Each structure stands twice: as C-alpha cells, then as structure tokens.
Amino acid sequence: MASIKQTVSAPIVAQAKDETANGPGLSRRAWIDIIQGFQSWRVWWLLGIGDIRQRYRRSRLGQFWITLSVAIFIAAIGTVYSALFKQPIEKYIPYLATTYITWTLISGIIIDSTSAFIQAEGFLRQQALPKSTFILRILVRNFVSFGHNIVVLPVIFLIFGVSPAWTWFAALGGLVLIAVVGFLGGLVCAILCTRFRDLPQIIQNFVQVAFFVSPVAWQVDLLDESVRHWVIINPFAAFLQMVSEPLLGRLPGAITYTSAAATIGVSALIAWVLFRRFRQRIVYWL
C-alpha cells in the first residue's frame, strides 16, 4: 500500500519541489496555469455539465427541477412580499424574478467555489492539471443552472406586460462581469477554503446574510435617502443591478459600474497574490 502511494505522489512531489526551487518563476507558472486552464475548455465544460447531470440523475424532470423550484419561490415570495411592501404585484414580481435569478448565479458561484479543489481531489492527486480548470468548472455549472432559471423570465414578462427593450443587451455585459469576478473570487475562496476547512461554513452564513442586505427581495427606492448610500458600498448590489436593471428596461448609473470595476480590481489583486504564492501547495492541503 505504501509503495502505491509513493508511486502516485512521486510526480506531484517532484513538481512541487521544482516549483518552490525557483521563486521568480512562481509568477510565470501561475500565469501559465491560468492560460492552460482556459485552453483546456473541453475539460472544464464536460466536468461542469457532468456535475449538473449527476445532481439530477434518475430524476424525471432532470435539470428543470431548478427551473420549477425557482418559479415556485418567485410566485410565493412575490405574492407575500408585494403585500408586505405595499407594491403593485405587476411591478414587484418582475423585479423579484430578475434579482433572485441573478442572485442564485452569484451565490451559487461563491458557495460552490469553497469546495472547488476539495471536490477535485481525485484529479489533482493523480494528474498535473491546471488548478484554474476547476474554477472554470464551477462557472460552467452555475451558468448552466442560470440558463435553466432564466427560462422563467419570458413567462413572467409576458404575464405582467414587461416589453422587450434594447437595454437587454447591457444585461449580457453584466453577466460577463459576473463571470470575471466569479473566476477571481472563486479562486480566492477555493484556495482559502482548501487551507482552512472551517471557512466554507462561514462563507455560507455570510452569503445568507448578504441576501438580506442586498436589494434582492427589496427595492432601493423603498429606502430613505439617508441610508441609500450604504447600497453603494455593497458589491453584491452592483452586480445584481448590472443584470436586473437592464432586463427591466433601465440602465444602471455610472456609480454601479464603478463599484463593480473596483470590486474586480481588488479581487484580481487578492487572487493573484494567493494563487501565485500557494498554487503549488494546494495538493498538500487536500
């Protein structure tokens, strides 16, 4: 048994020693890892699709259980909250649908990223695959789920008379920015949660709190002028509004895109520092 472990781990140990021997080469190897990760798109695409199929294996509705559960949530919560907030249901439910579907994408990427490397332990211990591959796997999994969820929107828009608008194209830009920050933030979460195994539970609780303090179920217009500025410093609000607002026919303000750009910049810096420094240690933490 010991000889088998030595045979399997020998290439990994040799590779790790080679990487740690050359400090200045860490940046180059980290950058190569990211490039090779994007180039091996067939791997992370098949892994992400496989995760969706495995989750709903032997289910009659399959992946469309996601769509059904989202539709039920929007109908139930939209009816109740529109009465609580004293909002016209024909305006509130389309708002809730766009924000909640976008939120499921953002929160799903964050939560799944906490186990990205842990879930890929079998691959990482046996093959020298790019680490970034498994972050892209998380993005594929959640964007496919988002594609199933967004099927609900045309039905809701048709029922409540939301007309098509050219601003819908701006929502595509918002999704691209979510993918960028999702990759960077997912890399940070994956590295830290692989090293500190208590962090996934902390991050899950944090995401639950973020749901209530972000304009998902409530609208910014309902807040007093004196507290609206707090929404500006909430990065989740910026990425929510970059998708939900254009879908409702409105363009977000410049401050929303500025907040999103600042979040991406900070995430890129943190992700690069962590990935460059600890990439070769990930296998040892598994």
Q: What is the pLDDT of residues 49-96, one digit of tens each?
A: 888 888 776 665 666 777 888 889 899 988 898 888 888 888 999 999
In this predicted model, what pLDDT tens digit does every residue of 138-148 receive, in sequence order?
Answer: 999 999 989 98
Tell me the pLDDT of the chain averaged across its residues: 85
Q: Residue 9: its pLDDT value, please?
A: 43
Give the pLDDT score at 13: 43
User: What are the tokens at 144?
Assistant: 């496919």
Query: How far is it, in rounded angstroms, from Cα 164 to Cα 258?
Result: 26
**Short-list 249, 257, 269, CA closest to 173:** 257
Task: Give the 3-state secondary structure of residue 120.
Answer: coil
Whether 237 and 262 have beta carbons less than 8 Å apart is answered as no
Whether pTM > 0.75 for this model: the answer is yes
Could you tell me what percent of the chain has a pLDDT over 70? Answer: 89
Sign of CA dihedral 60, 63, 69, 70: negative
Q: Any alpha helices (H) in the chain, and if so which ranges?
A: 2-21, 25-39, 41-55, 64-84, 89-113, 116-119, 121-126, 132-149, 152-160, 168-195, 199-213, 229-232, 235-247, 254-278, 282-285
Count of CA atoms in the C-beta half-sphere (13 A) of 84: 10
pLDDT band, residue 26 (cuts 50/70/90): confident
Cα gap 56→41, rounded to integer Å: 23
